[in-house]
Structure 1
Amino acid sequence: MKRFFLSSAAVALACGVAACASTGSGSGASQPTESETSVILQDPAGLWGSKEQGQPWLELSADGKVAGSDGCNRINGTWSGSEELEFGALASTKMYCEGVDDWLSRAATAKLEEGNKMLVLDANGEELGTLAYGGSNS
Structure 2
Amino acid sequence: MRLTTFTDFGLRVLMRLAGDPARPFTTAELADEFRVSRNHLAKVISALAAAGYLETRRGGGGGAVLARPPEDIRLGDVVARLEADQALVECFLPGGAACTLTPRCRLKVRLAEAEAAFIADLNRSSLADCVYHPAKV
TM-score, normalized by the shorter chain, greater than 0.5: no
TM-score scaled to structure 2, two decimals?
0.24
More strand by share: 1
TM-score scaled to structure 1, two decimals?
0.24
More helix by share: 2
Which protein is bigger by CA-based radius of gyration?
A: 1
